Amino acid sequence: MSFEKTQVLIIGAGPSGLLAAREAARREVDVLVMEEHAEIGLPCHCAGLLSLNGLGKLDVPVDGPYVQNKVRGAVFFSPSGLSFKVERQRPVACAVDRVIFDRFLADQAVKLGAEIRLRHVIRDICLKKDEALIELGNGGFKADVVIDAEGVSSRIVKAAGLEALDPSRLPSGMQFDLACVNVDPDYVEIHVGRKIAPGFFAWVIPLGEDSVRVGLGCREANPRDLLNRFIERRFEEEKYEILTARSGRIVTSGPIKKTFSDHLLIVGDAAGQVKPTTGGGVILGGICGSIAGKVAAEAVKRGKPEEGFLRLYEESWRKELGKEFRYMLWARRIFDALSDRAIDKLFELIIKEDLHRIVSAEGDMDFQSNILSKLLRRRKIFKLLLPLLRLYHL
Ligand SMILES: Cc1cc2nc3c(=O)[nH]c(=O)nc-3n(C[C@H](O)[C@H](O)[C@H](O)COP(=O)(O)OP(=O)(O)OC[C@H]3O[C@@H](n4cnc5c(N)ncnc54)[C@H](O)[C@@H]3O)c2cc1C
């Protein structure tokens, strides 16, 4: 059997893997990315709503060819139709075409020296004392450090003996791009409630004045049926046209317990590095991917690809994002336990106390811990949620 040798091998050419590749390649080590599909970015599962601040943190231009529309806020709708708006004067987020976005990241990585091989499925890993072995039939790869960026259905996390996500316990998502609708291009819509989207929410992301990406996530229900029902209600007056349909599992369970081992780092959806409140994983998973790329390159250069050194990756991302994931996970658990009546009460409070203005001024799409703790410190909100706070020992 012949084994090709590389220094850093990355499994999966999604945003987390590609940003890891870019950062490792920038540090002049050999980087090989293996992608199972024939094209980068396809099939696409994502709504592509990304904050402009977040893109800046990833060192990715906010005006790239992938940007379809920019928005400056969101309107939230309760089960009974109460609503409030969270907004800024200037755009805060954009809808991106994930296929073009992922290809842009791939180009960045390749320009810095990374190699990407398509149509390569990695099925197993063997962590030896001196290297990681990836076996592919009658040959394979030897790598100093492997970065697993396989997304939500990672095989490698389990094969390496680490505790993996259980995709069957995550909400299922479904979305369509619709043309010929009439929407405000400046605002995303978020619709919550057990009848609309049990266990998650429905979204309407404007792609312009006459097209949207509309989707929802849910638990224990059929997302396509619920989405069809939602679209009929939301766009009942309009003769819309369905352009594309996408589906996928949405990670809301927070990070897995351990994201490193000898010769191995886990990043992105595979590591659960996704906002449990919104299911957005491109920015935070991308930040973790970038950290992984840097640590992997450093490990190769120092000749220290073992656990003792690679734990630096987990220490770094937990230092930057650990508190964010903790707060967002609490918020998700509390929200999942609220009845539609309780959600309506929460909306009433927010509107009555003008809290959406505080969120408008101080909220951050990716770093939500400050605003969540500020809202929770409000006496009336605290009182409303107290039974659930006790239930979850918060
Ligand atoms: C319906 C829906 C809407 C979403 N909307 C948003 C949003 O608006 N904003 C946001 O930030 N996030 C959103 N997300 C989440 C976002 O899509 C993910 O968090 C993000 O794509 C994770 O990036 P990743 O690189 O970790 O994994 P992925 O993007 O899943 O990439 C993994 C890659 O690895 C490849 N691969 C997997 N296994 C192997 C293997 N064994 N060998 C070789 N290649 C392999 C796959 O083909 C894929 O290309 C949404 C998710 C869903 C399901």
CATH number of residue 157's parent domain: 3.50.50.60
Identify the residue with better confidence: 354 or 62: 62
- The H-assigned helical ranges of the chain are 15-26, 52-57, 98-111, 156-159, 223-234, 282-302, 307-337, 340-352, 355-362, 369-376, 379-391
What residues contact 108, with CB distance under 8 A and at least 6 apart? 18, 22, 60
Confidence (pLDDT) at 390: 60
Token pair of 73 as six digits? 């806020």
Any domain includes 189: yes
Q: Domain ends where: 249, 273, 306? A: 249
**Of 126-135, 141-150, 199-208, 343-352, the least confident:** 126-135
125 within ligand 1 shell (Cβ under 6 A): no
Any domain includes 236: yes
User: What is the Å distance from ligand 1's center to 83 Cα?
Assistant: 31
User: What is the Å distance from ligand 1's center to 300 Cα?
Assistant: 27
Cβ neighbour number for residue 200 with a 10 Å cutoff: 25
Instruction: List, as one string, the DSSP characters of 25-47.
Output: HHTT--EEEE-SSSSTT-S----
pLDDT tens digits for range 158-216: 999 999 998 878 999 999 999 988 999 999 999 999 999 999 999 999 998 899 999 99
Three-class SS of residue 18? helix
Label residue 228 by pLDDT band (50, 70, 90).
very high
235 and 356: one domain? no
Residue nearest to atom 19 of ligand 1 (CA): 281
Any domain includes 57: no
162 and 180: one domain? no
Confidence (pLDDT) at 258: 97
223 and 236: one domain? yes
Q: Domain ends where: 321, 350, 372? A: 321
Q: How many domains does the chain have?
A: 3
Of the candidates 326, 319, 313, the residue with the CA atom closest to the CA atom of residue 148: 313
257 and 374: one domain? no
Any domain includes 17: yes
Any domain includes 62: no
38 and 115: one domain? yes
Exposed/middle/buried for 265, CB within 10 Å: 0-12, 13-18, 19+?
buried
Residue indicated by tokens 């409070």: 349
**Of 52-56, 125-129, 196-200, the least confident:** 125-129
313 and 238: one domain? no
pTM score? 0.95
17 within ligand 1 shell (Cβ under 6 A): yes
151 and 283: one domain? yes
Contact 196, 217 (CB under 8 A): no
Confidence (pLDDT) at 267: 98
Mean pLDDT over residues 137-143, rounded? Answer: 85
29 and 117: one domain? yes
80 and 157: one domain? no
Evaluate if residue 41 carries a pLDDT over 70. yes
213 and 358: one domain? no
Any domain includes 359: yes
Confidence (pLDDT) at 176: 96
Confidence (pLDDT) at 51: 98
Q: Which residues span the domain enclosing 33?
A: 2-48+98-167+253-321
User: What is the Å distance from ligand 1's center to 45 Cα?
Assistant: 7
> How far apart, in whole angstroms, are the C-alpha atoms of residue 324 and residue 304?
30
Confidence (pLDDT) at 13: 98
Atom of ligand 1 minimally distant from the CA of 269: 26
Q: At what angle do helices 340-352 and 355-362 cross, to 10 degrees?
A: 80
Mean pLDDT over residues 55-75, rounded? Answer: 97
CA 332 to chain centre: 15
Residue nearest to atom 34 of ligand 1 (CA): 12
Confidence (pLDDT) at 2: 83
> How far apart, in whole angstroms, are the C-alpha atoms of residue 10 and residue 36?
12
236 and 265: one domain? no
User: What is the Å distance from ligand 1's center to 291 Cα?
Assistant: 18
Integer Rg of the chain from CA:
21
> How far apart, in whole angstroms, are the C-alpha atoms of residue 184 and residue 75?
11
Label residue 383 by pLDDT band (50, 70, 90).
confident
158 and 215: one domain? no
Confidence (pLDDT) at 166: 84
Q: Domain ends where: 249, 278, 301? A: 249
> How far apart, in whole angstroms, are the C-alpha atoms of residue 280 and residue 377?
25
148 within ligand 1 shell (Cβ under 6 A): no
Any domain includes 61: no
Cβ neighbour number for residue 387 with a 10 Å cutoff: 10
Domain at 182, CATH number:
3.30.9.10
pLDDT tens digits for range 265-316: 999 999 999 999 999 999 999 999 999 999 999 999 999 999 999 999 999 9
Confidence (pLDDT) at 394: 52
Token pair of 387 as six digits? 């039974």
User: What is the Å distance from ligand 1's center to 98 Cα?
Assistant: 10
User: What is the Å distance from ligand 1's center to 130 Cα?
Assistant: 30
Mean pLDDT over residues 99-126, rounded? Answer: 95
Confidence (pLDDT) at 338: 87
Evaluate if residue 137 carries a pLDDT over 80. no
Residue nearest to atom 30 of ligand 1 (CA): 151
> Average model confidence (pLDDT) for the chain?
93
Atom of ligand 1 minimally distant from the CA of 102: 29
Q: Please choose from 19, 34, 36, 68 the residue to mutate so as to test ligand 1's pocket, defined by most ligand atoms within 8 A of CB.
A: 36
Any domain includes 53: no
